[in-house]
Structures are given as C-alpha cells and as structure tokens.
A and B are shown apart, each in its own frame.
Chain A
Amino acid sequence: MAKIKRRGESGAAKNYVTRNQALKKLQISLSDFRRLCILKGIYPREPLNKKRANKGSSAPASFYYHKDIQYLLHEPLLVKFREHKTFAKKLARALGRGEWALAKNLEDAKPVARLDHLVKERYPTFTLALQDLQDPLNLVHLFSTLPTNPIPGKTLVPSEIIAECSRLISEWKVWAIRTHSLRKVFLGIKGVYYECDVPGQGGEMVRVRWLEGYEFQQYVPTDVDFRILLTFLDLYRTLVSFVLFKLYTEENLVYPPPLDVELDEQGESVGAFRLVERKAGAEGADGTGQVSKKAVRKAIKGIKASGIDADVEMDEDAEVDEEKDEDEDFVERPSKAQEVEDVAPAPLTTYNSLLATSSTPSTSRQSLLFSPYTFYLSRETSSRTWEFVIRALGGKVVTSLTAPSPDNASNADSITHVIVDRPMTAESMREMEAGRKWVWIQPQWVADCVNRQKIISAEGYHPGQLLPPHLSPWDGEGDVYRPWLEDQEKAAIEAADEAAENDEAEQDALDESEDESGSESESESASYPPALLASARDPTNATLLHAAELEAETNGTSHTTFRTQLKAATKANASKVTAPAPAKGEEDLRRIMMSNKKSKLYEKMQYSNRLKAEEKEKLEAKREAIEKKKRKGLKV
C-alpha cells in the first residue's frame, strides 16, 4: 500500500511560510527581517493556492519560500544584527551612566556588518551583477543629489553616504569616459537616461542603463521611509564599488583612484573639499561641473594648482596629447604604499588626461563620433551631462567657466561646435564667430547624434529654432508604432547624401516591390512608381516607405508631390483592400472548431491587440489632425 499522505506535510503547505512564522522562526524583529530580506534579496511569493499554503486559512498573509527562510537561519548577517543589538544596549548604558571613555571604546569596537558575501552570493558572476546594475546606479545617482536632511526633523542621510555616492558616480563616469562605452542618451521628463556597453564575464557585452535626474534640488515626499532606501543603498554601494573595482582592474587602473596628495596634506577633508571646489571653480572653465569636481579630488593626482587647464592644452595641440598618452601609464595595481610613492612624481596622470585619452586600442580616437570636434558649452547647458557625453564619445569640451563666451576662449579657433540653449540672433552669432566656422546647436543635437551613431545635420537644431522631436532610442526595440521614423529617416538621408547607398536602396526597393506586387498589379496604378505602390499597400512598413522616398528622390519628385502621390495610392489601395473583406468571415468560421480554452486565449490576445491597435490609431489620428491644422495655418 502506498504511504498515506498527510495534510500539511508536502506541497504548498510545506513550501511556503507566512511572514509571521518566519519571524518566529528567526527570532528577529520585523525591521531586522526587512533589512535581511532587502540585503539577501528575499521576496514574498504568490502560491498557486493560497489557502493550501496557509494551512486551510484564507486570512490574508504574505508568503515566503520556506527554504529562503531556512537559509536565513545560517546567515552571518543575523549574527551581526544580534551583536549590534547588544552593542547598542551597552552603548546606551554607558552613555546613560556618563561613562564616556567606555562609550568611546565601545564605539571603536562597533560591530560592522560587511556585505561582500552577499554581493557574491546574489551575483555569482560578473555578468549577472552587470545585468542587475540598473537599480543600483539609479539609486546611487539619486542619493548623490539628495539634500542631507531631506525631510527636516525626520530623516538624516549622513553626508558621508552622499559623498560616497557622488564619488561612486564620478568613478563610474570616469570609467565610461575612458572606455568610451556610452551608447545612448535620452533626454526624458524625469531626467537623462544613459546606456553603456559594459564588458561582462568573458567579454560578453552587457547593456547598463541608468537615469540621472536633472540638476535640481530633489523634492522628498514625507511618506518615504529612508530606512528602507538606506538599506538598499548599503547593498548597492557595495555592489557598485565591487563592480567598479573589477572594471578598473580590467582597465589596468588602480581602484579606488588615489586621492590627490596635495589636498590630502592640507589636513581636514572639509578644507580640502572647499579648496577643490574653488580650484575647480577657477579652472572650471573646463566645465567639469559637479561631476568632475569631485572626480578631480579622487582622481589620480598631478593637477597643480597653477591652473593649467589640461583640456585647453590638449585642445591646442592634439599631437602633444598623443605623445603624452604614451607616458600616461596608469599604475598597474601596485600595493597601496607603492602607489602613493609612484604616483606622486608621475607628471601627467591627471584626471583630465584620463578623461581625454583611451588606452584601449579597439576604440581608437579616430573612430569615435566626436573625436574631430571641440565643443563649447554655454553656461545654461548642463556641463554635468554634456561634458560626460561629449568626452565619452571622444570630443573635447570648453566650458563657459574658462571662457564666458566662445570668442573669449583661448582656443576659440579650434572650437567647432557651440552648444547654446537660448535664443540668439543671427547677428550676435555672426559677431561672435568673427569669420570662424562654428556650428551653433542646441544640446539635443548631441543626444540625437549619439543615438543615431552619426553626425546629423545641424539644420533645425540652431539656437532658438523649434527642435525636431526627440525620440527614445529604445523605442524601436519592441514593435511600437513609429510614425516619426519617416521624418527621421528623411533627415538622415538629407544629411548623408551618398549616391551609392541610394542606388542600393533603390535596387532593394525595386526588388521588394516586385516581390510584393505579384499578380495584383493594377493598370490604373501604373502611373505610380513601384516602391510607392508597395509602400501604399503596407503603409505601416517603414522600410518600404523609406525605399519609396529614395525612389522619389532619384526620380526627382519633390517631397510634397511624393506625399500626395503616396496618399492617393494608399487610398486607392485601401478601397481595394476592403473588397475582399468577407475573407475575414472564413477565419471566423474556422474559429468555431477551436477548443474552449484556445478560443478564450485567442479572445484575450485579440483584445490586447485591439487595444494596441486602438492606441496606435488614436495616435495616428491625432497626428493627422495636427498636420492638417499646420497645413491650414500655412495656407492662411
């Protein structure tokens, strides 16, 4: 006879425990349990059958996987928590008795919980850590811009934590600049999104995306529990620092980048801070902004207070720069003591050089997008963002801090682009240019160039002009409606007028149209070129449209006529398409034979598809209405 199965001894009843049961088992307080869960990455589960998991009770409860809790029992952190509890008691006792010496001794021997093992445990491989780096980077970025006392009288974020966060960020950015791994920039409502390609284990590239808020004081709502955020931040700081260590080590750099000796010698850190700020402000010219201010402090030493602007220097003579590159060997993981000695005399291992040079042979400077250009950042543009982006793509930067206006800059002749974010008259621009050829652009141009991976025409991006829409570089990753693509592509084509490419595209378009048109070639539509017809038949297909446009261009038809033709063709096509509508009825008939389950699933899918289509139609309709309005406005 088979063994009798008893209730509650297997299956869901055994697999899940409620939170209260877990607390009882671990003998810790709820707040400790929360911290443990956050740090260990333990999360509640949703059992398939709640009642069964709750031993027959249908009371609401959150369930945890039984084995998760079982593993927690052996967690070293748990021991640390207990140690901390006793420590806190002892300290409170000592303080209460006024035994200051004892309190100090206790404070010195305070038990500190380390999270390294958790990092390794949660992310067994480097790739996994990189894949999960988005949240850590977001939070670290957020904290770096947080006020020390976000909610007056309630929470206090230690200033060391904020300082550490900003240090981590600058280290991360320094790395990204050095390896030129920035791939995408998107200016959103919430802030600036960046995406980097980071080499994971075995060189496998992992895309890491993060969000950096705009440079404003963060608004902190009162109902945010900072204990939770700080617990997360504890883990994330550890994770980010280990990731940075790995990345720096692989780049043959020392991590953490040693402190500037001079600043260190001056004693108190606060003074050093102030000094750096001032110094950075003076030289700030180079617009390092917040990022590089701190980065400078952390970066490899060598900046002399004499105010030599490495950037300017480099801009002036790129050849010299190249020569310097060879000298600038980053210290190859020496011991700490050694490194300080070694680094001190090394003349040019500066942060700036670090920013500007790349030791990786794969991405040579010539291949980078902005490497031939020098950008002047006007004072209303965020140097924190744009300096990072331009440098990461090989460009050089002159900020408004060194020169209040581009014509005042010492290397005004080498400037190629001026980034301005305010309306300017053509005269004032011409005046400033004084015969030099500068491209005047708004900051969005940089982001669009990065996203499209080529230098696009500055037409439409001039100061004071109404900008073309800024599109998300990640929008194409799903199948989303992209009506703007036509405009985008058009702009791209105009920018890059390569005949050969055109020919190829045309050929493709012809082939495609031949394939598609097949038997149903109509006599009345013969007047239209084939690519246009193909495009009209499938108006959503962007590639077809592109081909049609190319074709129109080669034929010499203007854009407006092309559009009217296309519209007419689409209309004609639509009327033809509606004719064989009963074909739909046949599909309906086949659905009679579907099983109940499948037909329900089908219904669901159709429903969601319909929603999507509706949304798309709505957008399209809106767009059409707007265009119509515009045209009317033009006519009037």
Chain B
Amino acid sequence: MAPRNAAASSSKPSVSTRPALNGHAGPSRAAPSKTRKRAVDEVSVEDDEDGFGAGGSGIDMSDDEEMESVDDAEDDEEDFPEFDSELEDGEEEGVPEADDEEEEDSDDEEVDEDDEESGSESGYNSSDIDALYESSNTSAPTSPSSSHKNLTTDEKLSKMIAKNSTKPDEAVGTDAKISKAKEGEGRMVKSKLVEGGYKREYEDYEAGYGSESSTEDNPNTVGNIPMEWYDDLPHIGYDVNGRKIFRPAQGDELDKFLANVEDPGAWTSAEDKMLQQQVQLTDKELDIIRRLERAEIPDVDYDPYQPTIEWFTGEGNERVMPLSAAPEPKSRFVPSKWEHQKIMKIVKAIREGRITPNKPSAAKPNVYAIWSDADQANAPHAMYMPAPQLPPPKTIESYNPPEEYVPTEEERAEWEALDKEDRKTDFLPAKYDALRLVPGYKNLVQEKFERCLDLYLAPRTRRVKLNIDPESLIPKLPAPKELKPFPIACSVQYRHPGDTRVRAVSTSPDGQWVASGSEDGVVRLWDLGNGREVWRWDLHCGAIQFVEWSPYKEESLLVALVEGKVAVLSPLALVAPNVAAATLTHVNTAFASSAATTKMGAGKDVKGVEAIKWVRPAERERERGVLVYVEVPGTPKQVSWHRKGDYFATVATEASNKSVLIHQLSRHATQSPFRKTPGQVQRVAFHPSKPHFFAATQRYIRLYDLAGQKLLKTLQSGVKWISSLDVHPGGDNLIVGSYDKKLAWFDMDLSTKPYKTLRYHNRALRSVAYHPTLPLFASSSDDGTIHIFHCTIYTDLMQNPLIVPLKILRGHKVTDGIGVLDIRWVPGKPWLVSSGADGEVRLWCS
C-alpha cells in the first residue's frame, strides 16, 4: 500500500512543477554554474549515505518503525495540499476508507495526470516548444521514478536546474559514478552528518508476498519447519533476538474442553502451530473461509464484472499520438520549384507546337513489301519440319460421285460404328442429283479447328516414305531355268507295306540301289530305276533308325542301326562276285584273327568299350547278307562313314560318354573318341578330305582333329536344336538343319557363325544333304516339302557362295505331324531320294 501511495503522490509534484518551471525558465538558465556544482556535491554525499543507511535499516528497523515511516510518508503527502488538483480532491473525498480503493484511485489519478501532460504536448504551438523541450529533457531521467515524491519545491527546483545545466556529455560522465536508478528512488532528507547536505532515504520495500500478519505476528523465527521437532523441548523456537520462546502453558484436555465451552470465541479460533496457541480468527478471515466453502471468490472486494473503462475509444476520448515529434518538413507544403520549371517547359513546347498531345505515333503501314526477289530461303535444317499440306479432295468427296462410291447400308453402318479416328474418311460420301440439293456441311468449323490443333499441338516426326518397287527388294538371282538340272518331279515311288514310317533312306555309291529302313524293323533294298524291292533284311530288333551305304565303291556295304545294335549288311547275291569277295574279306579278316566273338578294346584304355561287342551273326543270317553285329550301348541314331569305307561313326544320343563311337571294320575295333561328351551329340560327320571330325550338339558344331586329338573349332549355329548336318564335299562349307525351322550355312573360312540362316520351312527340318558332285543341296521338313537349292562355291575366297532356291518338291504326306524324314542324293545324277512318314520312298528326277 505504501509504495503505491508514494507513486501516486510522486506524480503530483511532476505536474505541479510545470507552471513553476515555466515561470522560472529564465532564471534557471541564468545561473547554472553554481547549482551545478552543488548538485555534484549532493550526489556524492548521497552515495555515501546510501550505503550506510541501507546497512542500518537492515538490522535495526523493526516493524513498528517501518509502520511509522509509512505514516510519515502519508503525512508528507498531506503536506502538499496546494498541489493537488481540484479534480483529485473531489475524488479523494468520494473515496471510501478502504486501502484497496485508495490504491485504485491513485492509479486513476496517475493516468489522468499523464493524460493532461500528453494533452498539453499534443496541443503545442511554437511558443511553448521551449518549455516542452525542457520538460521532455527533465522528464527523461526523472519520469520512471517517483523521486519528487517527498521533495520540497525548492529541492526539486534546485535539482532540476542542476540537471538541465549539465551538458548531456557531462551528465554521462557523472552517470558513471551515480546510479540513476538509485537517484530516482528514495527521498532526500537533510543529512544529519553533513551540514546543509541531503541524504537519500529509502522507503521500505514491499515484497508483495506473504500476509502481513505472518511477518508481523510471528515472533518465532524457526521458520517453516515441522514443529514436532520441538516437542521434547521446553521452548518452541527463538525470537528475533535469539532468545528462546518458551512453550506457553497448556492445560490438559479437560481444560481445553472447558475453555471451549466457556469461551464463546472458541469456535472461531484456530491453533497456531508456530506459537502453540489458539488464535482468534478475525471477521475478515472468517469471511474468506465462508466464501471458500461456497466456492466464491475469496476477496470480497474483487468484482469480476467490472464495467470496461474506455480510455481511448468513444466520444471525446480520441487521442492523437504522433510517432515522431519532429516538425513537418517544408517540402510537404511548399510546391516544388523544379517540377514547376519542368511543367512550364512542356507547356512552352506545347504552345510553340513542338509537342502535339495525343498525336498518333508514326506507325508502320499495315502492309508493305515484305518480300523481294533477293530473298533466300533458310538453309535446310534437320529439325525443321514444315506442316504437311492437306491432301487434295478425291472424287469420293464429290457431291455427285460415280455410283460405286455411294456407301451401301452396311458400309454406312460400319462407318458410323467406327471411332472417329479410325474412319478412313471424315465424311460419308453421298450423291445428290443437283447442286441445289447439297446441304451445308456441318463439320466444317470442327474440321478447321482440328486442323489448327494439329498444326500447333501434334508432334511432328520425319518418316521416310519408301517409294520403291517392292520387287526391287527381292535379291537378283539367276533364274532356276539356267541352273538346270535339278530334281523337279517325282518319278518313282517305293511303297512300304502298312504305311510304316521310313526313317532312313540311302543310295548305293554306284547309284543302283536304294536302301530304306522302316519302323517295322526291315531294311529293304530297292532297284533305283524301276522301284522293285530286290532284297530285304529283317533284323527283328525294332525300328530301323538309320541306314547308310559305305561310300567306297569297290565294296557293297550297308550299315543299319537298330536299338542296341549296329548291323553291317551287304546284298552279296546281287553284286558282282569280285565286289562281294572284297566286301567279305574286308569284314571278315578280323574274325579270322580273333575268335568268333571279339571284344574290342584295341589297346585303348577307354572304360566301357569292353561292353561293345563285334558279334558274328548266325549262319542263316550271314547267308542273307548280315555280316556283323556290333553291340553298342543305347540306341544309335545316326551313322557316318569315312570316305574310305573302313571307319564309320555312330551316335547314340542317350549313351552319355559313349554316345559317339568310331568303328573300324577291318579290325573290328571300336573307339570312343571323347572321354567326356560336350553335351548331347546329335550328329557326327567325317571331313571329306582331312582327318577331321564334326560333332554337332544341340547348338554347337565342334570340329576335332582326329590325328592331333584336339578341338579345332566351335561353330555357333544360332539355332535352338540341330537336327541334321551335312558337310560339303569341298570340306569348307556345311549346312545344318534345325528343329526350329532354320537352315544355317557355315562357311568355315569366313566365321564361326553362319554365313546365312534361312527360314523357309514351316516346320522342323529333318534332313539336309549336299549333292556329292553337283552344286545342289536339299532340305526336308515336317511340313512335307523338300526344298532344292543351287549352291556354287567359288574358288575365289573373296566371293561368297551363291545360294539359289530352285524348287519345292511336294508329294509326301504329313502324317502325325511328321513329313519327310530323310533325303539322299543319287550319286552322279541330279536325282533325289526321300523317305517320309507316310511309308513312301520317292525318287525325284530332273
């Protein structure tokens, strides 16, 4: 309460001094030096006293004294009645006695006074600028404080003069010594020590916490501790001076009870733990308790619904608050000279006619000669793509087209059913009898719009439009007519009974006979020319897999493959005696040297070759021309003769490392050339002139040197599954047929990849064959056709082989998806023998 009062009172002098200031403006400036010196003195003294006073008050001041000083202050306040404004007086009169009320009022006053101050400032004129200046200067250091609170007018005046007479710079210097904050607080009291000096006396500081009663009434200084600590002691704490406070006497329970009964105030008292005694609660405290019980605001005086006080809003409360006090610059109200000059210049020019207002600018003519004969087109650029022109209208667009252009009902329906983009024309052709009957075209705007969209929105690309004759793409090849002779038509058919599949066919080296091996297990020998069956070997061992004549002309030997066996046959009765004799000696010499049954290892340390037996057939069979059986593992599928007719190689795909075997007739010896086969070997072939050996696996063809026993080359066929292989008699080229319909021609001098891969059969290729002497080759397929090709291989290495398709031979029927199984050329003639799944062997002649 006290400081607030002080604050309220402090503001009063600040207002009240102003008239005095105004009045004394002259003299205060007139005698600065003396007062200034005093002020400095005063400050220094003040400082000293400050420290002393503070120390003293800390120890000595009792509550009572403090209260007194506050009273003093109040007294002081009452000492200045002459400065109070009437308004304030009036208010004070109307104010109730309560302290809180007083506080509020003082706040109000403060603000009101501030208002007055600011009001006077806002309404300044030049005459009171000086006063303003001074007041603003003085107010800066003093205003936050309530320094003038208890000063006499003289003191204040002298202080102010001292302030104003110091230069700001110097003041800064002094400030270093004197704390302004300190200066602003407290009140100046005449010093008792220094004559004529003042000392600053500070008012007691109101901490603002704890109730007054707690600090006032509690003499016990033990603090906030559990009082049961003192239960065993005779005293209950210490007073300020450190003397024990003894436990007040307490009666027993009966006494208490009696006291309760007797004392009417017992109901409204509570025990003070600190002092161990009953304390009577005041009415105020009781009221607070009552309010708390009722969940009301404990403070009686607090009004939660105060009416808002409109300080700044509403009629008459408007404030003008300049952001800066700086005077308005001149330029704001004096017109610019330079602008005026400029305008006058323009005016003059207009008067003289140099400037014409609103004159249209000298525009270019709308059209002019933009092109001349010297124009050059831009150099062509790859990225420049002019828009394509619309095609000219065709007759179909005519209003009166020939009748065939008029769509029928179906065509009309079809056109209408199509999407707009898919239609061939964007209109339906129609025929009108006369021009006057033609209606307006509904889509004209839409079409032009779409054209515009195309022009700016459609991506453009350059498409090469091939304007060539498709026939020019077909390679220039000699006509088949010029490449005659080649087989053209079927002349002889060799029919097998029961339509059994004829898996293999072979022609004798002298071109006299055809041997065929069918699935009924019979090898048949046919007269090539007249198609008569002249001999047959019934092997009783399941299907004949393969039949091959020995190419050696001096002998007449035939190898047929059945399951687990290789049979060497010869039509001894049909051939010339000397040939028969040569054949027999060739085959039988080895029997003479060994037992009837020979087991051949022939010194080779190949495992499993022991299982291969050369067996001499029974007498009866020998008479029929079965000369030797070679018992081999697995089912041999193909046999390939060496050109000299002594060796032949067989392939039995499933017989793992013994799948490829090379047999020697003269010694009845069998070797397995590969310790480990490189995949499933499909076909093998001897090189026609060199000691080389081809072995075709599913995808690769490997060329081995038999003499050197090493791999020479691996040809990559590029096909998925090789079905057949043939080597050109020259030895440098070979053809490979595959189950995936392709035929690959390898030029071994050229590359390990095919020189040409041709795909012309519709089904898997079954067999390919070069003609032994003529430039011809043929391929047969499951589609039932045989393709005859011409192939010229030039001695010039730079020239690629010429391959010319000559003829497609059709005649074999496709049964169960299998067509022509095997083909062979007739040696020395442009004739072809083919065998098919339809149980026929055919001879195709030129």
Contact = CB atoms under 8 A, between A and B. Distances in A.
Contact of B399 (A132, A187, A213, A605): A187
B358 interface: yes
B375 A472 contact: no
B439 A186 contact: no
Contact of B440 (A128, A218, A255, A589): A218
B154 interface: no
Interface in A115-155: 116, 119-120, 123-129, 131-132, 134-135, 138-139, 142, 146, 150
Interface stretch (B11-19, B202-210, B366-374, B822-830): B366-374
Contact of B364 (A46, A116, A244): A116
Interface string B412-435: 000000000000000101100111
Contact of A201 (B373, B453, B455): B373
A626 B403 contact: yes
Interface string B737-774: 00000000000000000001010100000000000000
Interface in B370-412: 370-371, 373, 375-378, 383, 385-387, 389-390, 392-395, 397-405
A189 B449 contact: no
A193 interface: yes
A475 B391 CA distance: 10
Interface string A165-193: 00000000000000000000011111101
A594 interface: yes
A593 B440 contact: no
Interface string B439-467: 11111111111011101111111000010
Interface stretch (A259-267, A463-471, A502-510, A546-554): A463-471
B393 A62 contact: no
B480 interface: yes
Nearest to B462: A46
Nearest to B450: A224
A586 B480 CA distance: 8
Contact of A219 (B383, B405, B435, B442): B442
A447 to B, nearest CB: 9
Interface stretch (B59-67, B548-556, B801-809): B801-809
Interface stretch (B100-108, B236-244, B471-479, B489-497): B471-479
A220 interface: yes
A472 B393 contact: yes
A422 B434 contact: yes
A587 interface: yes
A609 B470 CA distance: 10
Candidate in A63, A108, A188 with the most chain B CB atoms within 10 angstroms:
A188
Contacts of A470: 395, 398-401
Nearest to B761: A592
Contacts of A562: none
Interface residues of B, number: 80
B438 interface: yes
A257 interface: no
A623 B378 contact: no
Interface string B806-817: 111000000000
A120 B392 contact: no
B436 interface: yes
A56 to B, nearest CB: 20
A213 B441 contact: yes
B427 A190 contact: yes
Contacts of A41: 387
A9 interface: no
A190 B430 CA distance: 11
Nearest to B449: A224
B394 A38 contact: no
A345 interface: no
Contact of A484 (B366, B394, B402, B440): B402
Contact of A602 (B366, B403, B442, B470): B470
A225 B404 CA distance: 38
B377 A249 contact: no
Interface residues of A, number: 105
Nearest to B806: A589
Contacts of B456: 34, 37-38, 42-43, 228, 232
B370 A246 contact: yes
A108 B360 CA distance: 9
A581 interface: no
A444 interface: yes
B371 A472 contact: no
A444 B806 CA distance: 59
Contacts of B804: 593
Residue from the set B376, B401, B758 with the largest chain A CB neighbour count within 10 Å: B401
A496 interface: no
Most chain-A CB neighbours within 10 Å: which of B455, B758, B807, B808?
Answer: B455
Contacts of A594: 473-475
A442 B473 contact: no
A132 B445 CA distance: 20
A602 B474 contact: yes
Nearest to A625: B404
A480 interface: yes
Given A219-B440, A586-B480, A626-B403, A189 B369 contact: no
Contacts of B806: 589
A10 interface: no
Given A44-B459, A229-B449, A472-B392, A444 B400 contact: yes
A191 B386 CA distance: 26
Contacts of A483: 402, 404
A537 interface: no
Contact of B434 (A188, A442, A599, A622): A442
B399 A188 contact: yes
Nearest 6 CB-CB pairs, A to B? A216-B440, A474-B392, A589-B805, A622-B404, A605-B470, A126-B371
Given A472-B397, A589-B805, A623-B404, 4 more contacts: A41-B387, A190-B397, A224-B445, A256-B367
18 contacts: A43-B457, A46-B460, A124-B377, A142-B448, A214-B439, A219-B442, A245-B369, A246-B369, A246-B371, A469-B401, A474-B393, A484-B395, A589-B807, A589-B808, A590-B805, A594-B475, A601-B473, A606-B470
Interface of B: 358, 364, 366-371, 373, 375-378, 383, 385-387, 389-390, 392-395, 397-405, 427, 429-430, 433-436, 438-449, 451-453, 455-461, 466, 470-471, 473-475, 477, 479-480, 756, 758, 760, 787, 803-808
